[in-house]
Amino acid sequence: RNIALTAPYMHDGSLATLEEVVDFYADGGGRAFGNEDVDVFVQGFELSDQERADLVAFLYALTDDSQQPDVPREVPSGLPVIARFENDAWEQVAVHNVGSGETAVSGRDPLIIIVQEGESIQTAVDRAQPGDTIEIPYGIYHERVVIDINGITVRGLPNSDGESPILDGEGKLSEGIIASGNNFTVGNLHVRNYTDNGVLVEGVRNVHFHDIFAENVGTYGIYPVQSTDVLVERVEVTGVDDAGIYAGQCENVIVRDSVAYGNVLGIELENTLGGEVYNNHTYDNTVGIFIVLLPQLTSKISANTKIYDNLVENNNHENFAPQGAIARVAPPGVGVLLLATDSAEVTNNTITGNKTTGVAVFSLTRSGAFDVNEIDVGPLPEGNYVHDNLYENNANDPDEFVKQLGVPAADIMWDASGSNNRFNEDSASYFPPL
């Protein structure tokens, strides 16, 4: 904008300073002023004095006087031209704006901030600046931690028995950790009993999850979404009603050396470009590994995923996803499910004991989960390559979904949709016969 921010503010001119504007929204967008008709999704928030000052400075920084309009010498009406007047708001802008070419920095070297006895993790996070590390001593913490700073590392300090510190939502709190800063690392934690998710990271570049045990945390255990360059390793997740380890609408994702069991979906990559899933163990889920392209999302692609060197066994758990959830359509007993994804490679995996099928390749339209008019992505699986896997004891008690299709179960099931899908498995049974 090329007009200085000047008081009074708001549509009714009721606020005299930008500080008052920030406080207005921090208090819930008017709830503190007696306004009752505030949308439930407009929530208040807490700000430290420094954060409040930084936000006010940011608002002033939106002012840019480099493109001010010229003042004409005359106007068509013939009326006198009003000269540009001096506005003292520019002095305020000059105070708050960072000088041209300068970068705001923390002014100190990165620190290791240790959560003190009796202190919350959030309090330690609120003291942090970009580049800092938050260390959490062993203990049980009943809180939801929010991190919106770049370059933060969060790591637990195990006790003498090797047990990681515990974040316990007690079945009341929504998430264990929510992070939205780039270059974020989190590890050595036990996260349990949250209602929605274990660790959620959104809109981040370069995120690393490691050495996390998540149990009974709602929908997703590990949950990066709309993020780039994601690494998940040495993670264990159980007891969630969607995906234990999930990456949605991401790019460049690695999931390795991890274990997922007792979930609806063990590992899921949804509408994600460029994934590697290797050296993992998925068992006792409804579906072991799920690579999918879903409609009605911002990302319209699921492609270039490589699944290799995994042990995918006995994924026969009853589907306990909530009614209405997409995961609800997953039939029990599937080792690897490729749904409408493109250019996936499934190789060198051990796929055994999955009662419906070892590997399934299906289109969105065949899934029955969507009306054809809802599908705004390419619904067919194309260019997938399944080869050189080991199959044992699959398809011995297929789910009712397969029985209703009227087709025999097999190690590999394909609905014959899409183009350039290839299968090269000497020891496997196929449907349709290939």
What average pLDDT is seen over the chain? 89
Give the residue from 234, 189, 244, 191 showing the smallest Cα distance to 210. Answer: 234
pLDDT tier, 304 (very low <50, low <70, confident <90, very high otherwise): very high
pLDDT above 60 (res 295):
yes
In contact, 243 and 263? CB cutoff 8 Å: yes
Q: Which secondary structure element, helix H or strand E, spans residue 400, and what is its range? A: helix 400-405
pLDDT tier, 90 (very low <50, low <70, confident <90, very high otherwise): low
The predicted pLDDT at position 22 comes to 85
What percent of the chain is predicted at pLDDT more than 90? 68
Mean pLDDT computed over 195-220: 98
The encoded tokens of residue 42 equal 């407009």
For the ranges 22-36, 240-254, 409-423, which has the lowest average pLDDT? 22-36
Mean pLDDT computed over 154-178: 98
Q: What is the pTM of this model?
A: 0.77
The predicted pLDDT at position 20 comes to 84
The predicted pLDDT at position 100 comes to 40
The predicted pLDDT at position 83 comes to 74
pLDDT above 70 (res 101):
no
The encoded tokens of residue 2 equal 């090329």
pLDDT tier, 216 (very low <50, low <70, confident <90, very high otherwise): very high
Furthest CA-CA distance within the chain: 92
Mean pLDDT computed over 136-165: 97
Mean pLDDT computed over 206-229: 98
For residue 352, with 0-12 CB atoms within 10 Å meaning exposed, 13-18 middle and 19 or more buried, which class applies?
A: buried
The encoded tokens of residue 247 equal 């990456």
Residue with tokens 């194309």: 382
In contact, 315 and 345? CB cutoff 8 Å: no
The encoded tokens of residue 359 equal 């590997």
Residue with tokens 């350039």: 420
Mean pLDDT computed over 272-291: 99
pLDDT above 70 (res 39):
no
The encoded tokens of residue 153 equal 């590392």
For residue 417, with 0-12 CB atoms within 10 Å meaning exposed, 13-18 middle and 19 or more buried, which class applies?
A: middle
pLDDT above 60 (res 363):
yes
pLDDT above 70 (res 104):
no
3-state DSSP percent of the chain in helix, strand and coil, to 5: 15, 35, 50
Q: Which of 356 and 372 is assigned the larger pLDDT?
A: 356
Dihedral in degrees, nearest 10, Cα atoms 348, 385, 431, 290 = 70
The predicted pLDDT at position 103 comes to 36
pLDDT tier, 400 (very low <50, low <70, confident <90, very high otherwise): confident
Please report, for the chain, the start and end positions of each structural domain, with discontinuous segments joined by +. 18-96, 111-218, 220-434
Give the residue from 349, 311, 335, 350 showing the smallest Cα distance to 396. Answer: 335
pLDDT tier, 4 (very low <50, low <70, confident <90, very high otherwise): low
- Residue 55: CB atoms within 10 A of its CB come to 17
pLDDT above 60 (res 3):
no
pLDDT above 60 (res 374):
yes
The predicted pLDDT at position 75 comes to 80
The predicted pLDDT at position 410 comes to 94
Contact residues for 426 (Cβ-Cβ < 8 A; gap 6+): none
| Interval 285-294: pLDDT, tens | 999 999 999 9
